[in-house]
Structure 1
């Protein structure tokens, strides 16, 4: 039997690298890996179905499932997760001292339906009483004017989304004080460059995230792995093979982090931060699979529907290929 030659678009992470360099094989597959940015991957996947297997935005994928037009079917491999308390940036000279002060403000976003933005809006409403309708959202490109939504969205009537002015970028508007803040998965360039009046809303974002996890047991999911639906139908063994391989790839990455003989990433305090995360979240803070993450996915799908992004409330079981809901054991 000849292995299937399949394109795989994914980020360049420690948890995917063993797939790329061949240390982990995908049963029955000869992979053609493409290491791409999320913006490029998602645009090409959702606009043109450009890849056989692709990392996908959980939000965009959920929209496609709710609308009954998913070109991909997901595997519960969560290639990107993040506590999004780090993702809210503010002008420190606009009287914003606490989350509740965002009411009535103008906040920049690259796309309304980004998974990170879904989580931030949900957390702001649940924990601080700030509803999406309390904010004016200004949509545009971060560093290039005119970024479009990957998927057209129809939002509730009480939500106000304005387009950034022609030729303007969100980074430039934040830098000039023309918007009061920014929410998104990437930090704005003016923050990274140390603008004196741009900071994070949650000044100690790690402490805020640890408190959030202690209360909710939620480590937010951003991205899933998707396989072209026609491929999964033709080769029903494929989703399970992907879950098996990507789980092993993550395991190798975690083993490397545990090896304290020499730090595997270019960052001090890695072992200390790993110990801190495991003390809070358990031995495997970054779980794959449906069972361990159903409560996280349920919360996301609640937010997604409540925010008007999915026309109906999607169920967790609808997201994933049936063969990946359980795994064998010895």
Structure 2
């Protein structure tokens, strides 16, 4: 039996695998606990620290563009609506999206996938040019070859983004899983939920956050194990509750993901997140050689 070191955040998809409710006689997923899961991203793209790893879609595309040793599988394991992730301080008064030009917006990293989606929505909904907003970040890119654009400033110090909002150091902030609860902060896009729903109805998928990659060396040395691991992911996805006509946070398959990937690649190119254009064939080519028609 092949053992694959695996990182997946806890979710309705991953828990049946972690609990052993789904298993294979040919491959064992040896789960490594990394929390928050984004701390696994840099080790994966820089050192192939794991055989199988959840990875933010922006990081995955950057890794491919910079020829890092990962293979992107057609497996979306985390998606969410993004417009509500852009927040401001209630105490400092209302801030409308149209007023963001020239404002200071904090985000953990310019390459953070949630930030990419928020900027894409601001451009799509309000025509806001991202280079005319002042982006302040804490972290650099997981793919070390990438350098932020000139209009991005790296912040020093250890003050959190919510504290910076409270103190007026920034005008707005983008947060993801760490979005504060309560009424101290308010969404900048007041009708975020309605706009998100309309976007989903128009595009047919929920904005992608995380997919799954395999290490290139693992794919070369044991492609059968990667195929079997993908089969386990497919089985786990079938157990995720689904409601007809409702957005689904997971998505599998080459054909199902071709158009969503084009949308993400276009947004990344517009924001200076990729050094060159990528085609879907280039992005999925290595995985198609391994999986064939398995995913479709």
Alpha-carbon separation, structure 1, partners of 2:205 and 2:124: 13
Q: Is the partner of 1:162 in helix, strand or coil?
A: strand
Q: CA deviation at 1:170?
A: 2.1
Q: CA deviation at 1:108?
A: 0.2
Say if 1:10 and 1:41, in contact at 8 Å, map to a contact too.
no
Per-residue deviation, residues 236-269 of structure 1 (Å, max 9, x unmatched): 2233322221111121232xxxxxxxxxxxxxxx
Residues 253, 218 of structure 1: alpha-carbon distance in 2 compared, 3 angstrom cutoff: closer
Per-residue deviation, residues 164-206 of structure 1 (Å, max 9, x unmatched): 2434332221111211010132344xx42542xx211233433
Alpha-carbon separation, structure 1, partners of 2:162 and 2:5: 34
Q: Is the partner of 2:239 in helix, strand or coil?
A: helix
| Residue 225 (str. 1) matches residue 212 (str. 2) | yes
Structure 1: gaps spanning 5 or more residues:
141-146, 255-273
Q: How does 1:13-32 map to 2 (within 5 A)?
A: 13-26=11-24, 28-32=26-30
| Residue 139 (str. 1) matches residue 103 (str. 2) | no
Residues 312, 30 of structure 1: alpha-carbon distance in 2 compared, 3 angstrom cutoff: same
Structure 2: gaps spanning 5 or more residues:
none
User: Number of paired residues?
Assistant: 291
Q: Is the partner of 1:19 in helix, strand or coil?
A: helix
Alpha-carbon separation, structure 1, partners of 2:14 and 2:210: 13
Say if 1:84 and 1:119, in contact at 8 Å, map to a contact too.
yes
Corresponding residue of 1:41: 40
| Residue 58 (str. 1) matches residue 24 (str. 2) | no
Q: Is the partner of 1:51 in helix, strand or coil?
A: coil
Residues 328, 86 of structure 1: alpha-carbon distance in 2 compared, 3 angstrom cutoff: closer
**TM-score of the aligned structures, taking structure 2 as reference length:** 0.89
Q: Tell which deviates more after alignment, 101-110 or 33-42.
A: 33-42
Q: Is the partner of 2:7 in helix, strand or coil?
A: strand
Q: Tell which deviates more after alignment, 169-178 or 34-43.
A: 34-43
After TM superposition, which residue ranges in structure 1, 4 or more long, deviate above 4 angstroms? Answer: 93-97
Q: How does 1:1-330 map to 2 (within 5 A)?
A: 3-26=1-24, 28-36=26-34, 37-68=36-67, 70-92=68-90, 96-140=94-138, 147-152=139-144, 153-157=146-150, 160-188=151-179, 191-192=180-181, 194-195=183-184, 198-254=185-241, 275=243, 278-281=244-247, 286-320=250-284, 321-322=287-288, 323-324=290-291, 326-327=293-294
Larger Rg: 1
Alpha-carbon separation, structure 1, partners of 2:56 and 2:204: 22
Q: CA deviation at 1:301?
A: 0.6
The root-mean-square deviation of aligned C-alpha atoms, in Å, is 2.3
**TM-score of the aligned structures, taking structure 1 as reference length:** 0.80
Per-residue deviation, residues 60-88 of structure 1 (Å, max 9, x unmatched): 111111112x2211111111111111211
Alpha-carbon separation, structure 2, partners of 1:58 and 1:234: 25
